[in-house]
Structure 1
Amino acid sequence: MQRYTTLEAVIFDWAGTVVDFGSFAPTQVLIEVFTQVGVPVSLAEARVPMGLAKWDHIQALGRLPAVAERWQARFGRAMTDADVDALYQQFMPLQVAKVAAYSAPIPGAVDTVNLLRARGLKIGSCSGYPRVVMDQLLPLAAAAGYAPDHCVATDDLAAGGRPGPWMALDNVLALRVGDVRHCVKVDDTTPGIAEGLRAGMWTVGLSASGNAVGLTAAEWAALDPAEQAKRRAPAVAQLRQAGAHYVLDTLVELPAVLDEIERRVQAGERP
């Protein structure tokens, strides 16, 4: 098997990228928390800020015009940071309790990661989940065959999370990567793509397995090609608009793209 001689590392997101096809774990809990306080939100609304740290996600969700209007009608005022704090406190134990239900690897993801390791790549990871959730998810993923070389949670770093570059760059430091241009960031959300770009990396977006399409693996597989194309198109457009160098359905397609990036880097191209 030919090993990569230039590329050094791939840094993966978690939900919607390696585990949790359709990225359901965060959205389902957010819907439940907002419902508990009498402000219902739809699944589509809960998905809009996906990729941000969860406190930021709750705040951004509350600022969506339709949600803000419902909040105003329910409480007679706009959502405050104190409200976000309270919702976050409700969110956290529910997310910890329910992350296991959505921890299954995306089909083909573990085999793909193993192939990349065999070709000499280091495997990094980062997430919009806080550390307390990642501590629940990591052993479940390891038992299913996925154990990255490094993992950064959104509250691990004082600088913060996405769309800033800091979690991706923490992987660079921990993995002792010699050049950020030799890294590839893989994510299903626009803040995750922004993270990779700001860190100076190549970026690959995932459409079918991710937040924007928002279907389970079985639901996606049951669609005919025409319906898949219809569902895929907005997700691809969103990720490309965010600046993704490549957009794929799932990780199964990643090795071929890494081969192309390897050739481009060797030819002197930059992300």
Structure 2
Amino acid sequence: MIQAVILDWAGTVLDHGSRAPMAAFVKAFAHFGVEISIADARGPMGMAKRDHIRLVGRAVNDAWRAKHGHDFNEADMEAIFAVFEPLNVAAVKTAEHSTLIAGAREALEWCKARGIRIGSTTGYTRPIMEELAPLAAAQGFSPEVMVCAGDLAAGRPAPLQMWYAMASMGIWPANTVVKCDDTPPGIGEARNAGCWAVGFALSGNIAGLSEAEMAWASEAEKAEMRARATAELLEAGAHLVVDSIADLPAAITAIQARMARGETP
């Protein structure tokens, strides 16, 4: 049966809509005279932040060249990262971006009661997580392991963070582990590691709404967001997609039923 759940952070366990990095990305590029949209910023979400900046830079390369007289390059990426990281650190320290998503505590307790262990990986860097992790711990989220972007040679969708987390926890085989994420790179990380992949549709980056904004959305609007996010996450390889971490117990139960029928990731 399932031995462990490896959780992403923003948009999965806390920061409904994964909103903390958005303004930081926009402000960081604006610092260098290039405007990017929220859609530009959200595109590669889930990847390590240097990889994320690299891809956004390539996407807006024409505007970058017009402003700076050369194509976006690695030195530009590092310069933007140096501006971005402190902005993201400041953002995650606010209650708006550090509060657990509704149902998280109950889902974690459900896992604990069944002996299912909890680990985590994240696209955030360790300096960001050094600020965010204590805020999450005060609310009851303290995973056994926290593997950050930059800890290993490659980030998502490479499986290295997942393998490191499982090795640190002493958990194997990979087909007894569920990875939960709200982004395609995070789902890819799970599949490449040989684990079950569960996508979160409404709490994460693809929907992009805060908990309050989601509460104001009509059922038709929620259905449209759910359908779009589900399609993207399934295309990335998710074995199933649910709305949020509140649905984790149901997702694990469904996966264990599939395992009982002989299915594997």
Please report the TM-score for the alignment, with normalisation by the length of structure 2.
0.97
Among candidates 56, 75, 81, match of residue 88 of structure 1: 81
Does structure 2 conserve the Cα–Cα contact (< 8 Å) formed by 1:182 and 1:265? no
Is structure 2 residue 70 aligned with structure 1 residue 77?
Answer: yes
The alignment partner of 2:146 has SS state of coil
Q: Give 1:190's match in structure 2, choosing from 184, 192, 198.
A: 184
CA-atom RMSD in angstroms: 1.0
Aligned length: 263
Q: Say which is worse superposed, 70-79 or 120-129, in terms of deviation.
A: 70-79
Q: CA deviation at 1:267?
A: 2.7
Partner of 2:154: 160
1:227 pairs with one of 217, 221, 226: 221
How far, CA to CA, are the matches of 1:89 and 1:181 in structure 2? 38
Amino acid at match of 1:148: P
For residue 97 of structure 1, what is the aligned residue in structure 2? 90
| C-alpha displacement of 1:121 | 0.3
Task: Say which of 4, 9, 22 aligns to 1:9.
Answer: 4
Cα displacement (A) at 1:188: 0.3
Matches within 5 A, 1:88-237: 88-101=81-94, 102-157=97-152, 159-237=153-231
Partner of 1:35: 30
What are structure 1's unaligned runs of at least 5 residues?
1-5
**SS of structure 2 residue aligned to 1:129:** strand
**Corresponding residue for residue 255 of structure 2:** 261
User: Which residue of 241, 245, 260 maps to 2:239?
Assistant: 245
Identity rate, percent: 45
> Is the Cα–Cα contact under 8 Å of residues 165 and 196 in structure 1 kept in the other structure?
yes
Structure 1 residue 75 displacement after superposition? 1.2
* Separation (CA, whole Å) in 2 of partners of 1:143 and 1:197: 31
- What amino acid is aligned across from residue 80 of structure 2 in structure 1? L
Structure 2 spans left out of the alignment, 5+ residues: none
**Aligned partners of 2:250, 2:11: CA distance in 1, in Å?**
20
**Aligned partner of 2:16: which letter?**
F
TM-score (norm 1): 0.95
Give how far 1:174 is off: 1.2
